[in-house]
A and B are shown apart, each in its own frame.
Chain A
Amino acid sequence: QQQVKQSPQSLIVQKGGISIINCAYENTAFDYFPWYQQFPGKGPALLIAIRPDVSEKKEGRFTISFNKSAKQFSLHIMDSQPGDSATYFCAASGSGNTGKLIFGQGTTLQVKP
């Protein structure tokens, strides 16, 4: 119930292509869904986040699509660049809790020039 399942585990995309990473959850009490980006040797950094009252959120080249009925959300990276090569984690958190983030397994993205 507390799990967040993320796929794929790794992804290779050509420069300029679209990278898509998917996550699914079971706990309907989750109401905050952030995506974190992590470069080697660094801590995770918030990339973009969404609440379930909207179905899509876009910030620059990064878009979250959210499907509440399916309990799924995804990250789309448009016009992927080599500098986007990193590990991406989806996460979820529920209202009323202490801010504990439940992370997905992570996706290692490689964008080839």
Chain B
Amino acid sequence: EPEVTQTPSHQVTQMGQEVILRCVPISNHLYFYWYRQILGQKVEFLVSFYNNEISEKSEIFDDQFSVERPDGSNFTLKIRSTKLEDSAMYFCASSENPGAAETQYFGPGTRLLVL
């Protein structure tokens, strides 16, 4: 069964450093998402992406964050200058079609720890 993959599974970084989290969505999917989950809290939407553009972003997704689809398979989330509060599990998701009622398939996540 096709699945969303994410690398790395764990990342430890120093405050102020840049990190890039990588995702390979399901191959025929066109809509991509990043969510984060701070330990013990709910999953929060960060950004949706389609046709090489951000479709929607949350207020969490400030200027320190950016997303990119650098080639036909990868979808990346960059945090330019990490803060302690960026420590969380980051999930990539993809769907075949946009909008509500479309199943989003989640990857296993990248656990980011900012020291």
Number of A-B residue pairs at CB separation under 8 A:
78
| B114 / chain A contacts, CB cutoff of 8 Å | none
Q: Quick one: which of A49, A89, A98, A102 contacts B101, CB cutoff 8 A?
A: A49
Residue in A32, A43, A91, A100 whose CB lies within 8 Å of B48: A100
> How does the 8 Å CB contact mask read for A58-80 relative to B, with 1 for contact and 0 for none?
00000000000000000000000
The minimal Cβ–Cβ distance linking A30 to chain B, given in whole angstroms, is 8
Picked from B42, B103, B108, the residue with its CB within 8 Å of the CB of A103 is B42
How does the 8 Å CB contact mask read for A70-96 relative to B, with 1 for contact and 0 for none? 000000000000000000010101111
Complex Cα gap A41–B110 (Å): 10
Cα–Cα, bound, A102→B33 (Å): 13
Given contacts A97-B100, A99-B100, contact A43 B42 (CB under 8 A): no
A101 to chain B, nearest CB (A): 6
Are A105 and B41 closer than 8 Å at their CB atoms?
Answer: yes
Q: How far is the CB of B54 from chain A (nearest CB, A)?
A: 9
* Contact with A44, one of B50, B55, B91 (Cβ below 8 angstroms): B91
Q: State A101–B99 Cα separation when bound (angstroms).
A: 10
Chain B residues with Cβ below 8 Å from A43 are 4, 91, 93, 106-109
The answer to whether A104 and B108 touch (CB under 8 A), given A98-B48, A99-B48, A99-B100, is no
Interface contact B106-A44, CB-CB below 8 Å: yes
In contact, A96 and B43 (Cβ under 8 angstroms): no
Cross-chain contact A99 with B108 (CB below 8 angstroms): no
Question: For window 26-64 of chain A, which residues contact chain B by CB distance below 8 Å?
Answer: 30-32, 34, 36, 41-46, 49, 51
Contacting pair B44 A32 (CB below 8 A): no
